[in-house]
Structure 1
Amino acid sequence: MNNQPVVTKYSKEYQSQVVDLILHIQQTEYKIPITKEDQPDLFIIEDFYQTGNGNFWVAIYNDKVVGTISLLDIGNNEVALRKMFVDKDFRGAKYKTAKLLLNAAINWAQEHSIKTVYLGTTPQFLAAHKFYEKNGFKNIKNEELPDNFPILQVDKKFYKYSLT
């Protein structure tokens, strides 16, 4: 039996699990005052993320969504990495869920001639900062973001990954 989650392209059947996972991590684990109403993109994933050079993936373990990641097409062969969340029990070296998700997104970006992946994150996600830096993302100032990068209210720390 495979000990690791399987990363697959998002489909509607996963929507409620995706919303539940993301909200639990945001609200319960990190005490971020954000609601599902603040994130309408979670209810239109196909139309919001899975267009152009964008996509959305889920990590599945025993029929349960244990992780998410997306790339939002922002034009100019650039994407914004969004909605990277991993269930607390599936973080770290045992399952490698975050690495599996990131690899799926980076491979997709390479296959679709993406030049740069940008991301914004919150100061609380310290382990995420280390993870991104360990995987080749460079910390940048928000002034270095492209004009078309959608900055979220909670985003205070920004990264860039160059594929060229």
Structure 2
Amino acid sequence: MEIVAYHELFEKQVIELILRIQQDEYQVPITLEDQPDLKRIPEIYQTTGNFWVAIEEGKVIGTVALLNLNNHIGTIRKLFVDSAYRGQKHGVSSQLLETLLTWSADHQFQALYLGTTSLFKAAHRFYEKNGFTSIGKDDLPIGFPLVAVDTVFYRYRFDFKAYGDGSKSP
């Protein structure tokens, strides 16, 4: 398995994976039309943020995106992993998140936010285990892209430590 930056060659597989998880697994009432960003990934995500896919033998098995809200603040979007590749055994979610966090730290992001549905209980545990703090909707930054089905929100703050040479590390 490898994590690579999104390319338009992956568009069909990305859309199919996300819709299958949302609609078939969790019966979330959301369609492709409700998510126009999925047809515009390069311009929405990759101009000031990024979008990654996990690939196994040429197949998209996971996704994660970072949307830059400006002022060193971002939002995590579209963290989805095929059901056959979930869990610690495979580590796909962890590797996708680690890729996003490393890229964010390298680009001096100070905090990341995300919203999710109350149905994704395993996702809640995953975020909390990885240093995210549950917050209220009122604590979201200005410009946060609210999605109607999202009712649970999280924040991740980078703890940069300055070194003697002036460089910083998370």
Q: Same fold (TM over 0.5)?
A: yes
Shift, 1:51, TM fit? 1.4
1:13 aligned to which of 4, 9, 18:
9
Q: Distance in 2 between matches of 1:14 and 1:148?
A: 28
1:160 aligns to 2:142 (yes or no): no
2:45 aligned to which of 31, 49, 53:
49
**Match runs of 1:1-164 below 5 Å:** 5-52=1-48, 54-164=49-159
Q: Secondary structure at the match of 2:23?
A: helix
- Higher Cα Rg, which structure: 2
Shift, 1:32, TM fit? 0.6
Shift, 1:157, TM fit? 0.3
Runs of 4+ with >6 A deviation: none
Q: Distance in 2 between matches of 1:147 and 1:78?
A: 10
1:117-149 Cα deviation digits (max 9, x unpaired): 100000000000000000000000111111111
Q: Distance in 2 between matches of 1:92 and 1:136?
A: 18
Structure 1 spans left out of the alignment, 5+ residues: none
Amino acid in the other structure paired with 2:5: K
| TM-score normalised to structure 2 length | 0.92
Q: Distance in 2 between matches of 1:153 and 1:35?
A: 12
Shift, 1:93, TM fit? 1.5
Amino acid in the other structure paired with 2:114: L
Q: Secondary structure at the match of 2:149?
A: coil
Count of residues paired in the alignment? 159
> CA-atom RMSD, angstroms?
0.6
Task: Give identity over the alignment, percent.
Answer: 48
| TM-score normalised to structure 1 length | 0.96
Q: Distance in 1 between matches of 2:60 and 2:44?
A: 20
